Amino acid sequence: MPVAFITGCSNGGIGVAFAGGIKQVYAETDGIDVLISNAGYSHIGPLLDTPFEEGMKVVQTNFFGFVRLVKNIVPLMGKRGKGTVVAIGSILGELATPFQGFYNASKAALHSYAETLRMECQPIGVKVVLIAPGSIRSNISVKSAYTVPQDSFYKALEKQIKHVMFASFLPRFQSQTKEYGVMDTRQFADTVVGKVASATPPQYLTLGGFTTWWWILKWLRRMTAEAIIWSMAQREPKPGTYGPM
C-alpha cells in the first residue's frame, strides 16, 4: 500500500518532531511513496512594518521547512528509485502583491527550489510536483491577523491591508468568499490527490480562486501588472467584508 507523509495537517502547523515521524514510518513500512509539504505561515503587513524575526519565521516555515523535509526524505526515496514530492507553493510565488511581502518571497523561493529539485531528481527516479494554489478556504490568515502601527506610513491604508487577509479567507466570512471564487478545501484536496496519484502526475498545477486573473496578469508587461495589482490593493473594501481581527 502506498504511504504518504504530509506536513501541515494539524491546527498548529508543522509537527515539532517530524524527523522522528519519518523514522517511524520507515520502521513500520517499506518507505514513503509521496511527500506532501503543506505547512504554511503568513504575515500580513507592509515590509517596512514587519519585524525581522517575524519575516524569518515566515521564511523558515514556508521555505526552509520544505528544504529540511527534502533533505530527510528524498535521499531515502532515491535509494528505492521511486517517489513523488509535492510542494505546495502559491500563485503569489509567481506574481507578488502588496502587504504580504515575506510570504510572497518565501513562496517564490520554494517555487525556484522545487523546479531545480525536479530536474536534479530525474536521474534518481523521484518526481516533483509544484502546486500553486490561488484562494483556498483556510485558517492561515487567522494566524496572521494584523494591526497597522500608529506610526506606520501605511496607517491610511489599514482597511485595505486587513482586506488582504481574504487571500485565505476566515471561516466566519464564508458568505463573502463566494464573491471571490475561493475554492473549498475538500475540492482542492480531492483534485490534488487525483492528479498526484495518477501514473503521470503533472509537473505544475494551479487551481483555486483568482488563478485565472493571475495568469492573465503574469503574461502582461511587468510594469502594467504591478500597476493593476497596486490599484486593486488600494481600493476600499466593500462594507461588511471584514470584521474585528
Catalytic residue among 26, 41, 103, 242: 103
Cell 507553493 belongs to 89
41 is catalytic: no
Q: Which residue in 86, 45, 113 sits closest to 191, CA to CA? A: 86
The number of angstroms, rounded, from the C-alpha of 142 to the middle of its chain's C-alpha atoms is 15
The C-alpha R_g of the chain, in whole angstroms, comes to 19
Rounded to 5 degrees, φ, ψ at 181 are 75, 25
The C-alpha cell that represents 199 in the structure block = 501514473
Dihedral sign computed on CA atoms, order 134, 138, 140, 143: positive
- DSSP SS3 for 183: strand
Enclosing H/E stretch for 204: strand 204-207
**DSSP conformational letter for 139:** S
Sequence-distant (6+) residues with CB within 8 A of 210 are 91, 134, 135, 180, 181
- Active-site residues, by number, are 103
